Structure 1
Amino acid sequence: MSRKKNVPAVTGKTRPAIPRKYVLVTGVVLAICIAVIAGLVLTHQGPWAPGTAATTTTNATATFQSAGLLYSKSVDLANAGSYQEALADADAALAENVSSLNPLIQSNRAGILVELGRYNDAIDAADAAINAQGNLTTLRAVAYYNKANALHALGRYADADAAYANASALDPTLKHP
């Protein structure tokens, strides 16, 4: 005869499941910790000679951040009605020459220039944004709208109507005033 092992009877009790939100929060916290540690390791790892890819990437990132901060400040100043200061910051952001931000900066500049009464400059800035490469639908819509405002102020009503129509076609929330 063979001996049966003593197997405990199933009593119907199960371990309580860990709530899903705790699992997600723990995963996010772990991911953040890993990212921070990796960042610390990478920034303190060995000497990087000037001109290496790491240095170039770091400089490009700093330039991008600088242009982005200037652009954001420009938007805030324009929203506060400080158009001359807003234009100065937009011009400084543009001077950083970050190609991925230039169309956005130009579109914003166009609106600021309209507010300053510099309509021809506004049209040039809007055209720079409109003609930029890439999938920039919303940005183009705003640029067309700013261009339309400048054209209207110059009394070029047919051109303004066409620009308003282009803006509205790209973004239906931008209606002809």
Structure 2
Amino acid sequence: MVRKYFKISVIMVIVVLIILSVSFFCYKNINANKEVTVNSQLTINKDVEDYINNIRIMDLSVLKSQMIIGNEDKQGFNFVLSYTLPDGADISSDTNIGLQIEYPEEYFKVLGGNMSAITYFHAKKNSEETSYLTYGAYPSIITDENLNKLISTQYSFKIYIFIDQQIIRELYIQNSLGSSKQRIVSEN
């Protein structure tokens, strides 16, 4: 009987030692891999951040537009945003970059919303070119007078630049009034 308990005790000690050594091995390898991943991610994020900081928002024009919906003629706005991507960036071409416009309060009151949709595009390597995004917005009710007043007045619009769904950069730009020149009011 004593011999039976001794065998069971020895087997249990061996099992416990095996479990402890496997646990230690897994813990050691998981932590080593975790550190490598974190360090690699920081390097990638720095390259992406540099790329984002070098995107230039050139112009924001607000234009009057019309659309026929059913048999009704609707008036609204076209927001045309021009931007230039940086040249010679060390960034993956499958990185998704997004742009979004936050409207000032005067447009919010008319449109009933304070933001455009987010438009995503892929980063480009070694290609400094100016591109354009157009957002249309059609309020349910607006008079010609109010529409023309909004278009002919200069406002500050906030532009968000995203990587995937994370805001990386925010800046303000004033809409142009018949001029292709724009200036950034302030940057956060």
User: Comparing both structures, which one devotes a greater share of its residues to helix?
Assistant: 1
Pick 1 or 2: higher relative contact order, CA cutoff 8 A, min separation 6.
Answer: 2
Normalising to structure 2: TM-score of the pair?
Answer: 0.25
Q: Which has the higher strand share?
A: 2
Instruction: Give the TM-score, by structure 1 length.
Output: 0.26
